[in-house]
Amino acid sequence: MRLAGVDHTARPTWKLKETVEFYRDILGLPLVHTISARGWGPASHPDFLHFFFDSGKGSTIAFFYYLGSDAPEGLKDRRYARPAPDDHVFDATHTAWLVDTAEELRAWKERLAAAEVEVSVETTHEVIESIYFRDPNGYFIEITRKLRPLNRIDEVDAAATLQAAIELEEEASNAHVRITTIDMVWNRKARLLEARL
Amino acid sequence: MTIRVFVPAVPEFAALVQAASRKPSCKVSAPLPEYQVIESSEPLEFWRKELGLKPAVWYGLFTGGLTGRIEIFDRERVRIVPAD
């Protein structure tokens, strides 16, 4: 069995108009579907709007707007944070959209900058190059391009890294200590690979 | 104990293998299909600029696995010494 890609990802918004203007007008993603409904299911569920913007290849990014509800404290000033993962817990949950070329990535950066959205510098990772920015809620968004396709080497290496980390975490848990440096994972991984030599 | 760096055989880490190949103290081999291995019995030092790496890749330089102790690892330089 295989999944066929992303249908949608969803998050709550407390900035209805700004969210529509940002995704539809600044990013240019067509608003393709809106549900408006009485809260249903759990009694605590408010009446809501649920709306979807087309983000390419059949995928959408979706928002819930809960009528009469307040934004959590932690979200209130987040839109003004710089586009860097200073809050690594909150910012870890993010969406990365794909573009095909370096020129397109640069064009997106220019488009966002022209709309006075603060955009990060282009960041070259191992297999992707990305720009980052925030939406009106402060959600961290990434646009990226692939530098190369992933292959068998990446798969083998990924499994070895996580095997090393899981082994270490289990041993540490049994000893009531914590693994806090990646050096320990690298050392353990080398031991695992040395056994294959 | 010999320093041993496992380098995944992928383009983004090729510069590390090339830099090691130029060091007389290093032996570079490919004993596994997925990895090249750098070995050295002496401390090893690399500079980020020499490798031409952006920080995000630099800070994951040893993701393939490392036998040895990292003595210095800042934004520009890494120094590894044999493990105790």
Q: What value does the mean pLDDT take over residues B26-52?
A: 97
Taking a C-beta distance cutoff of 8 angstroms, is the pair B59, B43 a contact? no
Specify the fold of A1-70: 2,3-Dihydroxybiphenyl 1,2-Dioxygenase; domain 1 (3.10.180)
- Report the C-alpha gap between A54 and A52 in whole angstroms: 7
Specify the fold of A75-149: 2,3-Dihydroxybiphenyl 1,2-Dioxygenase; domain 1 (3.10.180)
Contacts of residue A155, Cβ cutoff 8 Å, sequence gap at least 6:
none
What predicted TM-score, i.e. pTM, was given to this entire model?
0.92
* pLDDT attached to residue A14: 96
The 10s digit of each residue's pLDDT in A121-172 is 999 999 999 999 999 999 999 999 999 999 999 999 999 999 999 999 999 9
When scoring B27, B66, B70, B80 by the number of chain A Cβ atoms within 10 A, the one with the most, hence best to mutate, is B66
A189 at B interface, C-beta within 8 A: yes
CA atoms within 13 A on the CB side of B46: 25
B65: left (phi over 0), alpha (psi -120 to 50) or beta: left
Taking a C-beta distance cutoff of 8 angstroms, is the pair B78, B61 a contact? yes
Per-residue confidence at A90, pLDDT binned at 50, 70, 90? confident
Of A142, A141, A119, the residue nearest A130 (C-alpha): A142
CA atoms within 13 A on the CB side of B37: 18
Q: Are strands A95-99 and A140-146 parallel, antiparallel or unpaired?
A: parallel
Mean confidence (pLDDT) of chain A: 95
∠ CA A127-A130-A132, nearest 5°, is 150
User: Which residues does chain A have within 8 Å of residue B69's beta carbon, measured at their own beta carbons?
Assistant: 183
